[in-house]
């Protein structure tokens, strides 16, 4: 290798590294930008209904002032699932810009059951992964819960001891905690196993 070739290789390497940092960094920066509540509610569909309703709930207003934003519950944290979700979100852009399916509160209301069922299905399939980013069984102090809640969160209640996995997941009982329930919601849907 001549010194010129050496310099050439070095130059390519430097350019590659800089370009890599710029592109990858830029990509992640943009990704993070789309992962904020401000971005979500920049569409009026999201601000007018889901965000409005969230403000009434414990995930927005509570004693300690800790709160969840849209992506905390609706965007997975592990990178690969996050990318998949972001790609799926292009469908939401399609409906926002092309069909305008939920562009008024009335239209949102008439589609609410279907929209809600999509989210419930996703959360059931992922074992309520996004809930568990914050809510962990290991950190629940059952003594501090009200008796009914403590009973339902006790692993023995679900026979989830000795390595058995619990059959139910957060969303099975906790539907409609951050947004209004859809009209026609059957109360047994929040009461798995017995209904």
Partner 1 sequence: MKKTMITLTTALVVLIFSGAVVAGAVESLRGEQPLTENAKEPAKKQALVVKGGIERSYKQQPPVIPHAIDKDEINLKVNTCLNCHSEKTFEAKKAPKVGDSHFIDRDGKVLKTISSRRYFCEQCHAPQLNADPLVVNNFEGVK
Per-residue binder mask for partner 1 (CB under 8 A), 135-174, x = binder: -----------xxx--x-----------------------
Q: Is 176 left (phi over 0), alpha (psi -120 to 50) or beta?
A: left
Q: What are phi and psi of 114, to 5 degrees?
A: -65, -45
* 131: nearest Cα among 68, 80, 66, 60: 68
CA distance 192 to 68: 26
Tell me how far, at minimum, the Cβ of 129 lies from partner 1, in Å. 24
Contact between 187 and partner 1 by CB under 8 A: the answer reads yes
Residue 70: what are its φ and ψ, rounded to 5°?
Answer: -45, -55
Q: Does 183 bind partner 1 (CB under 8 A)?
A: yes
As measured in angstroms, the least distance from the Cβ of 81 to partner 1 is: 30
**Does position 36 bind partner 1 by CB under 8 A?**
no
List contacts with partner 1 (CB under 8 A).
57-58, 109, 146-148, 151, 176, 180-183, 185-188, 190-191, 193-195
């Amino acid at each position: 290798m001549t010194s010129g070739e050496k310099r050439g290789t070095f130059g390519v390497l430097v350019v590659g590294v800089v370009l890599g940092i710029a592109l990858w960094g830029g990509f992640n920066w943009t990704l993070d930008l789309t992962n904020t509540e401000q971005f979500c509610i920049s569409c009026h569909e999201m601000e007018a209904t889901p965000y409005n309703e969230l403000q009434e709930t414990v995930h927005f207003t509570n004693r300690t002032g800790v709160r969840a934003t849209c992506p905390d519950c609706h965007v997975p944290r592990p990178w690969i699932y996050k990318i998949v979700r972001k790609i799926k979100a292009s469908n939401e852009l399609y409906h926002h810009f092309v069909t305008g399916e939920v562009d008024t509160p009335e239209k949102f209301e008439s589609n609410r059951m279907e929209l809600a069922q999509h989210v419930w299905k996703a959360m059931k399939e992922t074992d309520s992964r996004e809930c568990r980013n914050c809510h962990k069984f290991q950190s629940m102090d059952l003594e501090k819960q009200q008796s009914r809640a403590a009973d339902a969160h006790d692993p023995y209640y679900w026979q989830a001891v000795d390595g058995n996995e619990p059959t139910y997941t957060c969303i099975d009982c906790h539907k409609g905690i951050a947004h209004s329930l859809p009209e026609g919601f059957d109360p047994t849907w929040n009461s798995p196993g017995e209904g």
